[in-house]
Homo-oligomer: A and B are copies of this chain.
Amino acid sequence: MGLDRRDHRKPRGSVDELVSRAREGNARAVARLISWVEDEAPQLREVMAALAPYAGHAQIVGITGSPGVGKSTSTNAIVGELRKAGKRVGVLAVDPSSPFSGGALLGDRVRMQDHALDADVYIRSMASRGHLGGLAWSTPQALRVLDAAGCDVVVIETVGVGQSEVEIAGLADTTLVLLAPGAGDGIQAAKAGILEIGDIYVVNKADREGADQLRRDLRSMIALGQTVSGERPEGGWKPPIVKTEAHRGEGAAEVVSEIDRHFAWLVESGELERRRTRRVRDEIETIAVTALRRRWDGVHARVELDDLAAEVLAGDSDPYTAADTLLENL
């Protein structure tokens, strides 16, 4: 998919044509649509309207974990299992780390070499690039493209740092949290709040010393977390812990079977609809808020945010009054 990102500036085929080629599974068409998402191309509005009737088929699986736990290797193994089951798979590797420099550290093609030549696996890296709205804006729209393009499963993989994994968990139907023995991952896990987002926990590098201890710690922390937070629905899902050795595919089948079991629970409990409603709410909100931000920075804005900020800085106003003025003048 060595597509030139600037291709969309030349008019080559209408939006409808591109959308219908993407719907047929044409990888170049999918690539172009996702580049439009990354570039915030003006055609997106039309694209999303054309895709609307086809969305909602794909199962979204989030994979997160600290650096070095083996996320790419695990994704690779999981995709292998999904392919054995005949599923069409999309992989979105999201790099939330840098808001400025753009471009994921790992290119699309060096990742997951096992599946690079498989036409039924679409692999794409995305960086947040400091766009207005950042990943919260672009990731759901890229998911929407892959979903409408006929993927049965879309895997979003992201490094688990700070809020990023919470954001990814908000996008996924099922969230996998990966851990590995060593590096004090136990207590780090608690710090990073990942114990509250995992639907399935994977202890990778299970052949290493400390794997059993990590699993035990994890089990008690999950139990504790469920008691404290009360966030889980009543009669809810008890997150399983699966041990894997992803570099040799060990445990991947069990992970996929737990993903299926979780999905069945989601459907049955009504939690799938709740999660997807929340996801779409967030998506709509982010688009609306991004539009508003553009509006109050516009040269024709009746009240400009910069002027209000200057008043607050001078001590002549306060942020609440300024926010009121902003909203009154929308």
Contacts and interface: CB of A to CB of B under 8 A. Distances in A.
Which of A280, A288, A323 counts the most chain B CB atoms within 10 A? A288
A96 interface: yes
Given A53-B315, A288-B326, A320-B45, A99 B166 contact: yes
Contacts of A48: 318-320
B191 A288 contact: no
Interface residues of A, number: 74
A100 B196 contact: yes
Contacts of A283: 312, 319
A311 B51 CA distance: 14
A298 interface: no
A317 interface: yes
A302 to B, nearest CB: 14
Contacts of A269: none
Main secondary structure on chain A at its contact with chain B? Answer: helix
Contacts of A164: 162-163
Interface in A118-145: 140-141, 144
A52 interface: yes
Given A51-B318, A100-B196, A323 B284 contact: yes
- Tell me how many chains of this kind the complex includes: 2
Contacts of A141: 319
B293 A277 contact: no
Contacts of A319: 48, 140-141, 144, 280, 283-284, 287
A321 to B, nearest CB: 7
Contacts of A105: 190-191
Contact of A101 (B140, B196, B305, B317): B196
Given A162-B164, A191-B67, A305-B285, A280 B312 contact: yes
Given A191-B105, A306-B277, A322 B284 contact: yes
A166 to B, nearest CB: 6
A64 to B, nearest CB: 11
Contacts of A161: 161-162, 192
16 contacts: A52-B312, A96-B162, A101-B193, A101-B229, A162-B162, A162-B164, A183-B183, A283-B312, A284-B319, A284-B322, A285-B326, A287-B320, A287-B322, A288-B323, A288-B326, A291-B327
